[in-house]
Amino acid sequence: MDYNKRRSALTAKIDADSFLVYNMEGSDFPSMYYLSGFTGEGALLVSSKGPLLITDSRYTEQASREVPKIPVRQVAGSYLDEITDAVTASGYGSVALSGVRTSCSLVNKLCDKLEAKVVITEDPVNELRALKEPEEIERIRAAVKLTEESLTELIRGIRVKMSERELALRLEFIMREKGAEQVAFDLIVAAGENSALPHYQPGERLLKEGDLLLFDIGAKLDRYCADMTRVFSVGKPTARAQGIYDIVLAANKAGIAAVSAGADAKAVDAAARDLIAAEGHAEHFQHGLGHGVGLEVHEGPRLSPMSTDVLQAGMTVTVEPGIYLPGFGGVRIEDLTVVTQDGCEVLTSFPKEELVQVG
Ligand code: GLY
Ligand code: MN
Ligand code: MN
């Protein structure tokens, strides 16, 4: 990864002498890692003069391994004092930071203490991250492959009367056995009526004949996420389940067909949403069609009726239409794509053409 290039792109983008990343308890891990490769806690000051990492004794050895070329300033008292001294010593007249990632508390303290002007921006690092580099795409591809292989292994052993929680646990175990460092998000395993909740948390519900069984899952590998949803039928599908599956599959394909460089995110969303609405299910599909995936499972761009994003080649974007029928169940089919000049490459290859029976 060319961190120098990323930092130069950031300094060219901001309207200030320097940019401050503050990552404590994971508050801005993505920016810290994206701009330096450092995985510990601390503050990173980025400017055209070069980077400076401010960290504490828990991480100085780690910094010497992970970012040997970046100068490190070890915190003696408080982070606030150390950042203030570093900004003063560098002679910066202004410091930009992300208003999305930095707490109001820290912003207030910096405004009080710094002589330099504090410039609160949206999240310029997030904007840079939306456009993936080839190596990032390869890491995401590997995370998708691991996720798919794990689900393939799990479904062979699914039986009636297993619980959602048991399936989620088994799946996470398989992912980790295959080398995942962790799950990209809490795995969603939802049976029957629970599959009507888009962000359901698996519970003690036992599988029974005729249930829809939804898996919204992703592994994290080499720091990059996967995100995929597939739905199965426990035993023979009901006509109602098959009916909504067919509509969602058609909407998923219409959305994928609309993904291309230059496309308005809003129009891609509409390509899938209009199809679902035409089948009388407008009110059963209320979330956005998709989002970027990378270091975080949810990042830019956003596909939704409100989005102003325009797709560019090299962005990743999920296409995940759904129909959710309260009290009955839901279907969502989610694929991860990479935008290309004349369409997209679909990274997800797990079969979706049929509502497959398990159990
Ligand atoms: N896994 C959450 C989502 O698909 O947005
Ligand atoms: Mn998603
Ligand atoms: Mn998902």
Let me know whether 266 and 192 are in one domain: yes
Strands 212-217 and 228-234: antiparallel
User: Which ligand is located closest to the Cα atom of residue 292?
Assistant: 2
- Total tally of structural domains belonging to the chain: 2
Residues 84 and 113 in one domain: yes
pTM attached to this predicted model: 0.96
Q: What is the pLDDT of residues 7-56, one digit of tens each?
A: 999 999 999 999 999 999 999 999 999 999 999 999 999 999 999 999 99
Taking the CA of residue 332 as reference, the ligand 1 atom at the shortest distance is 4
Tens of pLDDT along 136-161? 999 999 999 999 999 999 999 999 99
Q: How far apart are CA 313 and CA 30, in angstroms?
A: 22
Name the residue among 6, 15, 32 with its Cα closest to residue 223: 32
- Residue pair 212/197 in contact by the 8 Å Cβ criterion: no
Looking from the CA of residue 227, the nearest atom of ligand 1 is: 1
Mark whether 44 and 71 lie in a shared domain.
yes
Nearest to 184 by CA among 139, 154, 152, 153: 139
Using the mean position of ligand 2's atoms as its centre, give its distance from the Cα of residue 299 in Å. Answer: 10
Contact 142, 226 (CB under 8 A): no
Give the domain-ending residue among 129, 145, 162.
129
Expressed in angstroms and rounded, the spacing between residue 295 Cα and the centre of ligand 2 is: 13
Atom of ligand 1 nearest to the CA of 298: 5
96 and 165 inside one domain: no
Whole-angstrom distance, CA of residue 349 vs CA of residue 228:
10
| Last residue of one domain, picked from the residues 92, 108, 129 | 129
Residue with tokens 């940019």: 19
Q: Do 148 and 105 reside in the same domain of the chain?
A: no
Same domain, 72 and 115: yes
At what angle are helices 79-90 and 104-113 packed, to 10 degrees?
50
Q: Give Rg (Cα) of the chain.
A: 23
Polymer length of the chain: 359
**Does ligand 1 have an atom closer than 6 angstroms to the CB of 287?**
no
Residue at which a domain ends, from 110, 129, 148: 129
Same domain, 163 and 85: no
* Structure-derived torsion over alpha carbons of residues 209, 211, 212, 218, reported in degrees to the nearest 10: -90
161 and 76 in one domain? Answer: no
Report the separation in Å between the CA atom of 216 and the middle of ligand 2, taken as the mean of its atom positions: 8
The residue whose CB lies within 8 Å of the most ligand 1 atoms, and thus the one to mutate among 197, 216, 220, is: 216
Residue written as token pair 């840079």: 128
51: CB partners within 8 A, 6+ apart: 7, 35, 36, 44, 45, 70, 71
User: How many Å is the maximal CA-CA distance in the chain?
Assistant: 71
Partners of residue 98 on adjacent β-strands: 121
Per-residue pLDDT of the chain (359 residues; tens, 9 = 90+): 899 999 999 999 999 999 999 999 999 999 999 999 999 999 999 999 999 999 999 999 999 999 999 999 999 999 999 999 999 999 999 999 999 999 999 999 999 999 999 999 999 999 999 999 999 999 999 999 999 999 999 999 999 999 999 999 999 999 999 999 999 999 999 999 999 999 999 999 999 999 999 999 999 999 999 999 999 999 999 999 999 999 999 999 999 999 999 999 999 999 999 999 999 999 999 999 999 999 999 999 999 999 999 999 999 999 999 999 999 999 999 999 999 999 999 999 999 999 999 99
Residues 6+ apart with CB under 8 A from 199: 188
**SS3 assignment, position 175:** helix
Q: Which residues constitute the domain of residue 71? A: 3-129
Read off the CATH number of the domain in which 67 is found.
Answer: 3.40.350.10
Tokens standing for 235?
Answer: 């035993």
Cβ density class 76-98: b for 16+ within 10 Å, e for less: eeebbebbbebbeebebebbbbb
Neighbours of 57 (CB within 10 A): 9
Mutational test site, ligand 1, from 187, 227, 230, max ligand atoms within 8 Å of CB: 227
320 Cβ inside 6 Å of ligand 1:
yes
Amino acid present at 84? T
In sequence order, what are the beta bridge partners of 315? 131
Task: At 147, give phi and psi (nearest 5°).
Answer: -60, -45
Pocket test for ligand 1, best of 144, 147, 171, 185 (most atoms within 8 A of CB): 185
- CA-to-CA separations, 315 to 219, 256, 287, in angstroms, rounded: 19, 14, 20
Whether residue 22 is found in the same domain as residue 114: yes
Run of H or E residues at 140: helix 134-156
pLDDT tens profile 225-252? 999 999 999 999 999 999 999 999 999 9
- Ligand 1 in contact with 148 (CB < 6 A)? no
- Between the CA of 128 and the centroid of ligand 1 the distance, in Å, is 21
For residue 334, give the ligand 1 atom closest to its CA.
4
Whose C-alpha lies nearest to ligand 1, atom 5? Answer: 298
Looking at the fold, whether 336 and 278 belong to one and the same domain comes out as yes
Please report, for the domain that includes residue 293, its CATH number.
Answer: 3.90.230.10
- Omega within 30 of 0 (cis) for the link into 301: yes
Q: Is the CB of 216 under 6 A from ligand 1?
A: yes
Indicate whether 217 and 326 sit together in one domain.
yes
Phi, psi angle pair for 198, to nearest 5°: -55, -40
> 227 in ligand 1 pocket by Cβ < 6 Å?
yes
Distance 24 CA to ligand 3 centre (A): 27
Atom of ligand 1 nearest to the CA of 216: 1
Q: Can you give the pLDDT at residue 138?
A: 98
| pLDDT at residue 250 in the model | 98
From residue 263, alpha-carbon distances to 108, 286, 308, 311 in Å are 40, 21, 11, 5
Q: Are 15 and 91 in contact (CB under 8 A)?
A: no
Check whether residue 77 and residue 207 sit in a common domain. no
- Give the ligand 1 atom nearest the CA of 291: 5
- pLDDT > 70 fraction of the chain, expressed in percent and rounded: 100
Q: Position of tokens 């039928």? A: 233
d(CA 51, CA 5): 12
Q: Ligand 1 centre from 227 Cα, in Å?
A: 6
CA of 215 to the centre of ligand 3 (A): 8
